[in-house]
Structure 1
Amino acid sequence: MPPDRRVQRIVRVRTGCWSCRRRKKKCDETRPICGGCQRNHLSCQWPDVSRRDSEQDELPRVAATEERRPSVLESIEPFGEPSLAGSPLSQRAPSVVSNPHSEIGDPLEELMQETRTRRVSTATPMTSTSDALIASISTADVLPRSLSMLPGYDAESYQLLSHYLATTADCMANGSTPVNPFLVQIVPLAFSSDLLLQLVITQSAAHRAFRSRDDSDTIAHSHYSKALLHFRRGVTDFIDGKETSPLMLLVGALLMCFTETAKGDMNGTIFDHLSAANSLLVKLLAQSDTAVPRDLKDFVIEYYTYTATVSMISIDARFSGQLFLNLDLEERSRELLRTHYVGNLCGCWLELLLLIPCIFDLGRQWIMDDTQAVVPTADDLAMFASIQAQVLRWSPYPNVPTDVHLAGLIFQQAILIYLYTSLGGFRYTADGMFRGLVDNAVTEAMSYLNDLSPSARINSGLCWPIALVGSCLVNVDQQERLRRRLNAMIEKFGLGNMHRTLLLLEAMWQLPISEAGPWNICRAMQQNQIWISFA
């Protein structure tokens, strides 16, 4: 990429090796190999003293012919295929490094110009939420790098970055706010981290491959393989103490979660990434609040809370009591509620999401009770009533857009369905417990879905409530309406988990009524080998 002529020329130090000068790093001038080159495995070349006067002409030539700095991936010894549980990579192709300065699309050019001017003082009054987010990023020792400083990425990688900026980032966020954190928060971090940059490219490749319905996309497989290697390398460095901040790894684990969402993974790989993100988030929150900008920390908490809570329905409560959200993380999320937080993942219904672990625990205790009494105990009913009161008392914030308001009401009915079927499972019989309440919640949810266009951006986060409502549908006409809606969403957004949600519901609609309902979703997954997350 040609240098931006609007940027002032940087005056470089006239001593030191060529590598340090080109990298704009201070050289300790240790010969024959300086400390910086030795540490970064670079070719250390020194200027000829007799030709000192012509060094400005010589520097570009030496820099152009200098041995290319190996990328993170190339510094890893080959050790065979990645063996992360549940992560099949049937086809892999080596990455071909071509000209890293190839011309790219307009979205990427706009981003590069934006990152050049993003160093805004926090003392300057902000005129918008977007400016405030950008200012918070610029104070965090995170300086985005220009693409011309990223060796080892081919022209295809730049096209994938452009696809991420123009399409993938919009599909990941539900549009609840005018500021898209997948652009404002994630992209600047990616330009400061080889790991995150590779993960962003991988997510874009997975999304593009699914949109084109190309399961054998060698480029997507290749980048996915690279991402696993990068992430494994980062985890190893963190465990060995070479990297002290868990922020980049945490964001990386969350990006891997949504990569599985984009590609429509059916092997439960997302739960491995979610477990890693849990430990990393705990470590991050233990650090000083000043270590990470507030807006970025809030988004990371929302990102994890949303992914963790909507993934719990995939866990079979009969065999596991695993909760991805411990009390400390839950309290951090509740701190967001006190500010009336509206996010691009949880919308305005974060309070409802935080009730999912409570309902899961209530249903698990009932299922695991050996006595299996016909009537729940007094403690069960007290907990049930408390949760029901909180759900019914909830209402969307009055200042949110109409689509966000409708989506919140859909989540509210889905949560009620989950609660009403938690005691005694789903008893769809004449005298079944809570049958009338479940039927009413399903009818209400379907009505709200009819009022919401399937092409609205808010649909990108509705797989979870759609799965819960769909698992209770016995009417063929209602099933067909939901089927058409999911197909329209798949066509619009091209997210793999929407297609997998439809596959799962198609399988559940073939089961007897006694095996319907949200508490049988995990069992249907097991029977059909469809292990997905609804994030």
Structure 2
Amino acid sequence: MSEVRIEIIVPSDITQPPKTTKTRPRLRPNYPRARTGCLTCRRRKKKCDEKKPICSGCSRNKIPCQWPEKKADAQPPSTAPPITTSSDSPDQNQPAEARLGIVRVSRSDRACTLTPQSSLLLSHYLCETGMVLGTQPIQRNSFITHIAPLAYADDLLMHSVLALSGTHLAYRKGSDSCVQTATLQHYSTAISGLRTSFTTFKSGNVQETVKLLLVLLVVCHYEILSGERTGVVFNHLRACRSLIVSIFPTLNSSFIDTLPDQEKTALSVCLELYAYIMTTNTLTSYGTITNGGLPYDDFLFSLDSLSGYSSFGTMFGGCHSLFELIPQIAQFASARMDEEKVGLEHMSPKLQELHDKLETSIRLWTLPKLKPPCTETAEEWIERTVAAEVLRDGLFIYLASTSSGSVVSDKALLDRIQFHIDVMSHNLRRLTLPRVCANLMWPIIIAGSCVVKEAQRTLISRALKHSYFPMKHTFTACELLEKLWENPAPEAFGPYGLHLIEKTGFWLPVI
């Protein structure tokens, strides 16, 4: 049998105990090992000429050259980095970690040292990816204030966070193979870790359930941001729902109050992320989610039950009462299709009553003010109000375009849809604060599926390709809409048209 040799590489600054067995003498370089070179050369155990900003070795091998940060005053070690969430305005010129009070943890067995690019992915998550995913300012953005600290203490979560950051960064950097390779390593490690965890998972363990749920939801974000179009994300969502259902009978207010603060917050973050992904991935109304083993659970229809959590609002941004109308309209649309199948050309009186009730709910909704101690400027309030109007118009379009069944041919109805498209286009041009746009992909896709004017189609294509959020899934959304616009069939319009595109195998997960 052949001999298998396993070599364990230990960082050079860790002293090894003396060995009692006789070994071959180790050949050492005939120059003193420098400890002031770049981090990349140190990890590769290569000599560094210390040329800045890029040393000769990294330049020659075309790899990122990373240098250690200047050491700050010594601080006691910490395995659970603190988060600063005070309302004081931090220095915006500081890095995200400094503004948030996140202390880097440097341990050889941590996920953030898996590859030479891992520390870069962590910094990118804190400064870029985590910042653009939520609608709230940095002090109330759960991707930064809650998920990041938990990841420092949980390698499995850290791997999923770094994979999410990597797919964002890889798209921005284009053909950077080092970032792409590192991203896939973290992703595969996260998936492998999830499989292992599920083999030993015991239903009813709330702490373990919340831990796995959060990892799965971050992986869902990875799948969506990577532009994946085969529907893999729905497999993860089914697993998420199974975990939620396993503890949901105990999810009453008295039980939640008994949970430790960190666990309580993590659970609220998970429920909001799951609810947001479920509602915004309701695009077609014709079985995409429900036939895929993802029924609409009761709490999706009344998100007020989540609003009491301090972390709530990262995704919904105060508009949760509008978002919870999406699955309700989807069920209305499904009922309208059932009536069409039995030969009803127009809505039945019962369905007309439901339509009018939904339309009234959309029209009468008002954006709530932030609850103390949260505050916002007059400009921020205006931006949030305009963004909410974009969502409101998206709901009007969704309801109107599904009220006729598979084909929208009534001129008055088409004119009404066009009116809301025009208003939405105007409001989108008014928005200047990127974070308030973070949850507007759903209304843009719904409106885009109903656009017939060439100028507006060009505007939407340009907006998706050059948005505030340069991510692959925005290009995927643009490809889907262009594919829909190329189809001259009368059915290739609105949510039903999106349904026809999905039947060809082209899925569009939304975040």
Name the TM tier (shorter chain).
0.7 to 0.9
Partner of 2:492: 515
Aligned partner of 2:501: which letter?
A
How far apart, in 2, do the equivalents of 1:255 and 1:210 lie? 18
Question: Is the CA contact (8 Å cut-off) linking 2:401 and 2:408 kept in structure 1?
Answer: no
Partner of 1:90: none
> 1:323, CA displacement in angstroms?
4.7
More displaced stretch, 261-270 vs 234-243: 234-243
- How many pairs does the alignment contain? 425
Question: Is the CA contact (8 Å cut-off) linking 2:129 and 2:168 kept in structure 1?
Answer: yes
How far apart, in 1, do the equivalents of 2:436 and 2:416 lie? 26
Distance 1:510 1:158, change over 3 A: same
Pick aligned residue for 1:447 from 426, 432, 437: 426
Partner of 1:53: none
2:271 matched to 1:291?
no
Which aligned pairs between 1:16-31 and structure 2 lie closer than 5 A?
none
How far apart, in 1, do the equivalents of 2:393 and 2:352 lie? 20
How far apart, in 1, do the equivalents of 2:71 and 2:301 lie? 37
Distance 1:113 1:449, change over 3 A: farther
> 1:334, CA displacement in angstroms?
2.0
Partner of 1:434: 413
Deviations 1:411-446 (A, max 9, x none): 1110111111222236443x3573232122212111
How far apart, in 1, do the equivalents of 2:118 and 2:407 lie? 52
Question: Is the CA contact (8 Å cut-off) linking 1:107 and 1:162 kept in structure 2?
Answer: no
2:376 matched to 1:376?
no
Distance 1:511 1:329, change over 3 A: closer
Aligned partner of 1:202: which letter?
A
Distance 1:242 1:278, change over 3 A: closer
Question: Is the CA contact (8 Å cut-off) linking 1:263 and 1:496 kept in structure 2?
Answer: yes
Distance 1:260 1:114, change over 3 A: farther
Distance 1:113 1:299, change over 3 A: farther
Partner of 1:356: 326
How far apart, in 2, do the equivalents of 1:262 and 1:109 lie? 35
Q: Tell me the TM-score normalized by structure 2.
A: 0.73
Question: Is the CA contact (8 Å cut-off) linking 1:195 and 1:230 kept in structure 2?
Answer: yes
Pick aligned residue for 2:401 from 414, 418, 421: 421
How far apart, in 2, do the equivalents of 1:249 and 1:440 lie? 45
Partner of 1:392: 363
SS at match of 2:283: helix
Which aligned pairs between 1:11-410 and structure 2 lie closer than 5 A?
61-62=15-16, 98=43, 128=87, 146-148=105-107, 150-151=109-110, 153-175=114-136, 178-214=139-175, 217-239=180-202, 245-285=208-248, 286=250, 288-289=255-256, 290-293=258-261, 294-313=264-283, 316-317=286-287, 320-321=290-291, 323-328=294-299, 330-331=301-302, 333-337=303-307, 343-369=313-339, 370-398=341-369, 401=380, 402-410=382-390
How far apart, in 1, do the equivalents of 2:282 and 2:77 lie? 39
Aligned partner of 1:265: which letter?
E
SS at match of 1:301: helix
Distance 1:268 1:444, change over 3 A: same
More displaced stretch, 319-328 vs 466-475: 319-328
> 1:224, CA displacement in angstroms?
2.0
Deviations 1:243-264 (A, max 9, x none): 9620110001110111112211
Deviations 1:119-165 (A, max 9, x none): 699xxxx954999xxxxxxxxxxx99933263562332122111111
Identity of aligned residues (%): 22
SS at match of 1:246: helix
Distance 1:328 1:459, change over 3 A: closer
Distance 1:301 1:113, change over 3 A: farther
Partner of 1:480: 458
2:444 matched to 1:466?
yes
Aligned partner of 1:452: which letter?
L
